[in-house]
Structure formats: structure tokens, C-alpha cells
Chain A
Amino acid sequence: MKILSISTRGNELKFYLFEMDDQSIIANGIISRIGLEDSSYSISFGSENITEHVEFRDYNDVANILFDKLVTLNIINSSIDINGIGFRVVHGGSKYVDSVFVNDKVIQDIGDLSDFAPSYNDSISLAMRSFRKIFPDIPMVAVFDTAFNQTISEENYLYPLPLDWYEKYGIRKYGFYGTSHKYVTKKVSEILGRNDFKLISCHLGNGGSVSAIENMKVIDTSMGFTPLSGIMMGTRSGDIDPSIIPYIMKKEGLNVGEVIDELNNNSGIYGLSQYSGDMLEILEECNKGNENAIRAKNKFVRSVADYIGKYYVLLGGVDVIAFTAGIGENSVQIRREICEKLACLGVKLDLDINNHIGEMIKISTDDSKIQVYVIPTKEELMVAMDTEKLIKNR
């Protein structure tokens, strides 16, 4: 079975074509500047990499041209070869607790949630509409980043705010990166050979979220109403005193949207280091003795360890801690520093094994009270897996 997995951000669309029999990638690529000048696409398949400037006026062009290319490059024979398309949707609100087949109503709902996830939900709903119009016979599935978090209890998803803000405006914790946490949870259950475990899943990339999971269900997660809250991130502040917003508005003469932009784009590791939001670059600066970089790195480590501590107690103890995404998969040093802070919970890292990068591996010692794993995340594959599952069960 061949499944196409699609995600969007702003004017950009990423695609992966999977052979689900062995979960291998047949082709993948990116279409950039959709609807803008200088739009282009690039695609990798086998050992080939192609980049070309092509005019993509809108998502109808994207759907048409993408399938044309797949055929002309002999990746598929015709559109019939594609058994399903999975779309990664950032926000499903309270309504979508699991992946669903795409229909007009679903597309409408996703578009309506654009305010909650600007530059994501609007673009993916446009993409869905076009692919559905042009290939009406291919089954399509929406996989929501918020869906996995929908098992969180009222007590944990509500904010201590006027209750009518939840009732009228949907102010609550939604959580994000659910697709990644779901994939990690699935892998852990395969490793342990059971479903009744307690897991803290740490997705640490440029954005980051930590989730507390019990019996395959999310109990709590660090991101909230939007992806701004929770742990400190590459350019996002995470949790801060909300009073900082009116204070800075007054001092800097900014409006609330501008302050929130600052908190999203110029804060976090970048804001504190005044150098970069990229952990690799920060670690290099740390080695040179850059104090701001060291502080930013230490604070990041602290903020992840803090959440692990909170969730350890929330879960009443933990079987597995898993690291994933850019920093979680690749930064030996950050993993080590986080785990050092967790020694009081009985975490012991095998420093040699921790040096491995890029593979699924257990990095804790045998006598560690909590098993620690690195599990490279594959959100695109998770989207394709859910799509396959729905089609097979139809």
C-alpha cells in the first residue's frame, strides 16, 4: 500500500510517499512559496535529488503538478497507485479526538480553527480541498496534532481562568506534537511488549513539548492553548508571568500582538543567548565560554527537568523517559545534563551508549530506576500509519 503524507506551514508543503509494507520512504520533497513569485519544488527519490522552479499559483497547481511529477519521474504509474493521502493537521480543537476521513465538513472545521493555529490550519485546509477536488477517488485522512492529547482530564486541560472563557471561547489546554508523542508511545509499547506503562515523552526540537502518558493515554502535556507555553524553546518563551505582557506593552509602546510575536519569535534560547535559537550553535558558543549562551542552555535543561519532575509525581512514578526530535535525538550533551538533574528520581545514564546518535536505543544503565530511551520521531510516518489503519478498517 502506498500512502502520501502531507504537512503544510504557511506557503510551504512537505510530502512523503511511503511504501507501507515495509514503512520505507519512496520519495519525499518540499514545495515552497506556493502562490508567491519564485515558487519551486524539490524531490528526493532513490539516489536522485531534483530542484526546479515551477509556478504554483495555488493548491490546485500543487495537487496537479505534484502527481504529474511523480508519474513523469516514474515514481508511480498513475494516481491510482496512491492508496491514500494523510494530512497532518495542527489543530483539531476539542472536536477531533482521533484521525478521521476527510469530507467537506472536516475541511470546514479545520479552516474554522485557523485562529488557533495561524499559518497551519488555513494552509492545510486549502491543500485538502484541492487534493479532494482533483483526486476524488483517493481516500484521504486528517491526522490531528491535538488529537492524542484529547484524553487529558478536565482538571488538567482547564486554566484557572473565568470558566466562561472556556465555554465561550474554547480557552483550554490543547497540547501539540501529539502525532510525535503518539509515535513515541507506540514504539515504547513495542519495545516493552505491553501497554500498561507510564511514560514521559520529551519532544525537544526547535519547538518542544513534554507529555505525561499512562496506559497509552496522555494525562498532561506542557504546551497549552497554543504552542507558546510549556518548556522554554528555540525562540519561544514557554511559561512566563502573564503580567509581563501589559508591562512590556507600556514600556515598549507595543500592542499585544507584537508582544506575543516577541514571545514566539525572539525569546527562548535565542532571546536569552542573544545569539541563536539553534542548540548546536549554542553548544559551540558554550564551549567558547559565552556566558549568555551557557545560561540559556542551562535554563533550557532546567525547564525540561522541571517538567519531568512535575510529571513524575503526576504519574506517581515513571517506567520510561523518551527523548525525541532534533535536540532529543542528536544532542548527547543536553540528554546527559537533563538526566544528571534527574539522579534524585533514580535516573542513571550509560554515558557511552548515550554517545550514539540517530538510532532507537536505550541510554540508561540496567540499574537505572527509570529506563531512558532515544526514539527518533517520524511524524510523517505516523500520519501515514493512521491513514493506512483507517483505510484498512473501512
Chain B
Amino acid sequence: MKYLCVNAGSSSLKFQLVEMPEEKVIISGYIEKIGAEDSFWNTKINGKKIRGEKPLKNHSEAVDVMLEELIDKGAVESLCEIKGIGHRVLHGGEYYKDSIVVDGKVIKNIESLTKLGPLHIPGNLTGIKAMMKALPDVKNVAVFDTAFHQTMPKMNYIYPVPLEWYKKYGVRKYGFHGTSHKYITELMQEKLGKEDVNLIICHVGSGASISAVRDGKCLDTTMGLTPLDGLMMGTRSGAIDPSIIKYISEEANLSVQEIDEILNKNSGLRGICGFNDNRDVEKAIAEGDENAKLALDMYIDRIVKYIAEYYVELEGNVDAVVMTAGVLENGKETREAIINKLKCLGFKLDKKANDAIAGFKDQKSGIITTADSSVPVYVEPTNEEIMIVRDTYKLCK
């Protein structure tokens, strides 16, 4: 049975068709620059990558391209073979603690959350609506980035701000990357052979968040009301002194909206050294760029601090620290630096094991600490698409 996973961003659409229950990816594709003159896409099937291009005015046209690709490239003979469609949705607010089959009410609820994710929600919704129109008889499932974090206790998700901001406007910590954190949690439950796992999961890609998981459930996470909170990221500042916004708005004569944009797009690694991709930062360091070194030190420092914080929140009962997503799946130097800074908690790096793992190598996962490390550290590639398809499969059965 074939299931489709759709991830519609603000100007892009990623898709993957998966044979279930085998979890075999049949075809995947990435459509970019939707809404621009030079829209293009890359499709991958049987190990071959094929590029296509034509102007796409909106997500609806992008969905048409996706469906044409499925047939053109021979992934399906007819669209009837698709038994369910899973959509990545940025925000489920407090409505959804789990994935759900989409109906009119679900769409309305997601629409009401647009204010919390103005860049992503409209794209997510267009993707859902376009698929409902294209394949009216197939179930659509919404898989929320926030759902996994809905188990956080109120003490952890509430901010120390006036309580009515929560009651009236939903100001609270929602957390993001939930689909990834959930995938890793389930993977570790399987690996460790128990349900009640205690984990610190570090999802560090261009966006980054760390979660504390207790008894298989999210206890705390670094991202907050929005994905700006928490760690220093490629282009995002993470948590800063909130007073800075007021000061800069007066001194640099910028609107708060403009500052928010700078905090999201021109801060983090990019703000300090000009590069937002860790590979570029590392290259610059090798060439003696001092700001790049500074930026990476700051970046690692914040990851280490949150691991320490969650180690204490879990009262030292941590079954494993898991490192995942682009930066940590590939960056052995970064992983090494993080683990070495955790020596005082009894972490011990296995340098050989750590050096053996990278996304471009054959070995992509494993334990990178020694047997006598107080906590084992795992590297495990995340797979949000498979998680989305799994939930879809489960709900469409």
C-alpha cells in the first residue's frame, strides 16, 4: 500500500511516496521557489535524480506537478493507488496531542493558529486543501510539529509572564521538531527494549532544538512559542535578553517586526561570522577566521548548557543522549567538542567510534561514547517523513 508524505513550506513542497508497511521509499521530490518565475524541482526514483522546471504560481500548481511526477516517473499507474496522505503541519496549538485525520473542523483549528506560524501555516493548509481537491476520496492526515511536546507539564510550558497572556493569547512554550523528537524516541524505545526511556535528544540542523524525554514522553524542550527560542542556530539567535529588542529599536531605528526578522534570519552563526551553514563555518575556521571560531564556540556552548540543564531536570536519570539532524549527523568535531565539555558529568568520548560516523560515510549511526561513559551518546539519523507516513498509515488503516 502506498502512502504519500507532503511537507509544504512557505515557498517549497517536499514529497515522498512510501510503500507500507515495508517503509520503502518509492519516489521523493523537492519543489522549490513556488510563487517565483524560476520554480524548479528535483525528483529521485531508483537512485536517479531528475530535474524539472516551469513557473509555479502557487502551491496548488505545485501539487499538480507532484501528482504528474508520480505518474510520469512510473511511481504509480494511477493515483488511486495512494491510500493516504500525511501532511507536516507546523502548529497544532493546544488542540492536538497527536496526529489526526483532517476534516473541516481540523482545517478551521489549524487556520486559527496562523498567527502562531504566519510563515508556514498558510503553505501547510494550501497543501492539504489542494490534495483534498485532487484526491477527494483519500484520507489526509495532519502530523503536527508541536504534538509530541504536548505532554510537557504546565510548569515547563508556561512562561514567567503575566498569566493572562497565556489565557487570552496562548502565549506558552509549544516546542517544534516534534516529529523528529518522536521518531528518535520510538527508535530508542526499540533499541533500549523499554517504553519508559529517559532521553536528551539534540536535533541540530539549520534549525535546532533539544528535548528532555522522561518515560517516553516530552518533559521539556528548548524551542518555545516560536522556533526562535532556545539554542543559537544557523540564522536564529535563540534566547536573548528581551530588553535588547527595545534598545535596538530605539538606537538603530528599526521596527520590532524588522528586528524579529533579523533575529530569525541574520543572527545565530550568520550574525557572528557571516556563514550560517556549519560546513562553511568549519571551512572558515580551517582558514583561520577568528569570528567563525568564536561563532562555533558560542554555538557549542549553548548546546552543552541545555544538555546540562536537562540532565538536572531528569535528575541524572538519563538512558541516552541522542544526536540527530544535519549538523550532528555529520559534524564529528562538533560532537567531540560537546562530549568533551560534558566530562564532569562522566561522559567519555570514544574518538574512533565518533570519527567513523558521518552522513556521507557508510556508517551513519552508532554509540560514540566508551562503555564506561556515565551516559551513552548515540548518533541516529532522523527521519521525519517516515514518522509522518507511519502515523498516516496507522490512522488510515
Contact = CB atoms under 8 A, between A and B. Distances in A.
Nearest to B168: A251
**Which bucket holds chain A's interface residue count?**
35 or more
Contacts, number: 227
B113 interface: no
A130 interface: no
Contact of B344 (A158, A238, A313): A313
Contact of B160 (A269, A316, A344): A269
B284 interface: no
B266 interface: yes
A309 B315 contact: no
B260 A237 contact: no
Given A154-B294, A239-B239, A160 B305 contact: no
Contacts of B311: 309, 313, 344
Interface in A310-324: 310, 312-317
Contacts of A312: 308, 344
Interface in B312-329: 312-313, 315-317
B131 interface: no
Task: Bin the interface of chain B by size.
Answer: 35 or more
Contacts of B342: 313
Interface stretch (A69-77, A89-97, A120-128, A260-268): A260-268
A169 B343 contact: no
A200 to B, nearest CB: 12
Given A239-B239, A274-B163, A248 B271 contact: no
B284 to A, nearest CB: 14
A26 to B, nearest CB: 38
Interface string A285-315: 0000000100110110011011011101111
A382 to B, nearest CB: 25
A363 B299 CA distance: 36
A240 B160 contact: yes
A1 B299 CA distance: 50
A316 B344 contact: yes
Nearest to B290: A154
B241 interface: yes
A272 interface: yes
Interface stretch (B72-80, B104-112, B220-228): B220-228
A240 to B, nearest CB: 5
Interface string A224-257: 1110110010000111111111111101000011
Given A224-B241, A228-B242, A260-B243, A244 B225 contact: yes
Contacts of A257: 246
Contacts of B291: 163
Contact of B315 (A159, A226, A317, A341): A341
B298 A228 contact: no
B226 A241 contact: yes
A171 B248 contact: yes
A256 B239 contact: no
B159 A308 contact: no
B160 A272 contact: yes
Given A240-B161, A299-B158, A313-B345, 4 more contacts: A161-B237, A229-B241, A309-B313, A312-B344
B134 to A, nearest CB: 35
A216 to B, nearest CB: 20
B252 A160 contact: no
B312 A345 contact: yes
Contact of A244 (B161, B243, B269, B312): B161
B360 interface: no
B332 to A, nearest CB: 21
Contacts of B240: 159-161, 224, 229, 242
A238 B298 CA distance: 20
Nearest to B230: A241
A308 B159 CA distance: 19
